[in-house]
Every structure is written in structure tokens, then in C-alpha cells.
Amino acid sequence: MRYSIEGTPLPVVICELDAGEKMITERGSMSWMSPNMKMETTTNGGLGKAFGRMFSGEAMFQNIYTAEGGNGMIAFASSFPGSILAVEITPDRPVVLQKRAFLAATTGVELSVFFQKRFGAGLFGGEGFIMQKLSGSGIAFVEIDGHAIDYNLEAGQQLIVDTGYLAKMDATCSMNIVAVKGVKNMLFGGEGIFNTVISGPGTVTVQSMPIPSVAGSIAPYLAGGK
């Protein structure tokens, strides 16, 4: 499989497949394709995994596209202004994503639900108790809100992230929450009561324009009719 990621700020990944190669995607993610791409809708692992994907923000069913009778082409476009990242998944390096980040992958990649080990991190950290996990082997394409920036954390090294800005991290990283110091800072600082703390080792990707932040910024104008 060969691919190119094109366009800003609404990118699209165009995948060129050899005969017999397959791509997995969520329902509604395909944008355009060549006529010889055959679609099959499946639970891809049974109802248990299907429900797990539903809890992680994706559809219960997945679509598998196969290039039949020759080379094929299929494109997957982003649903929000931002970035599409190609992430290499290996058995020893699974990746954890924010909800709804998964766009498409080669068939060796498995999408599953990821539960935060620390309940407080999921409840107050702003990233959600339930996230997505990509494991297996292959190439996955993920959607990032806005621009993506990577930080490589050493063991014990930490990064403090505000609500919604965590896009993905290696499964070797851990997430916790800390309260903002100082009552005045909590009440009047405008940054909320808790911050999310990511600890290494591993790579952390943050995003510059989380959808909830954008929605919160325009909500007063929509409500006021101005």
C-alpha cells in the first residue's frame, strides 16, 4: 500500500493498493475510490469488539475495502480542519488515541477500547475515561484537530496538557491528573480546576485546535444570534 496525504486545512489521505490489498475504515469515512474497490461491512472480530469500538467513540461496524482484479485507489478525508497522521503500529508499540481519532488502517491493525487505569484521570482529565487503542501491525491514519506537535518523553519525564489537547500517546505513557495550585488560580485563572499530566517513556502528540474548545468559543455567538 502506498499513500499520500494532501491538502490543508482539510486534508485527505489517498491510498494506492495492489490487487488483493485491503483497508479498514469506520462507516462513512470513505470519500472516493476506484470502481474495483469492493466493500464488505463486518463486526471485524465479533460483537464484543464491536461494542468496544462503540464505547470508544466509533461505529460498531467497520468497512473493509479490497482491491479486486488489479490495483485500486481509495481516499479518506478528515471531518474537521486539522491534520491526518500516518502512524506505524507494531506489536511492541501500540498507540492510544482520543475518541473518534481513528480514520483508516491496513488490515493488520486492530482498533479496540482503552480504559484509563486511573479513574480520576478519566473523570477529570478532560480526555475521557474511555479512549481508543491501536495494536497489531500495519499503518493507521488518524485525525488530529488542528496542527499536531510531537514530544518524546524519557522515562519519568512529564508534560502537562490542558483539557482536550491530548491527541495520542504511546501505550507506554501513563496519564494522571493534578489539581491547579491555588484557589484563585482554580476559580479565576480560566484554565479549569485540573490539568492532565502525561508521563513517559514514549511519544505524546498534542493538537492545537480541539473540537470542544472550538465549539465552546462559538457557542455564545450561536446562542445570542449574533
27 DSSP assignment: T
Instruction: Please identify, in words, the CATH class of the domain defined by 2-214.
Output: alpha beta
DSSP state of 180: P
| N-to-C CA span, the chain | 48
CA pair distance 165, 206, nearest whole angstrom = 5
**Is a pLDDT exceeding 60 seen at residue 135?**
yes
Judged on CB neighbours under 10 Å (0-12, 13-18, 19+), 214 is: middle
| pLDDT for 83 beyond 90 | yes
CA distance 36 to 50: 27
What SS3 class is residue 151?
Answer: strand
Quick check: 168 and 205 in contact, CB under 8 A?
A: yes
Taking only the tens place, the pLDDT of each residue in 37-68 is 999 988 765 555 555 545 545 556 789 999 99
**pLDDT tens, position by position, 171-197:** 999 988 777 665 444 444 445 567 789
- The domain spans of the chain are 2-214
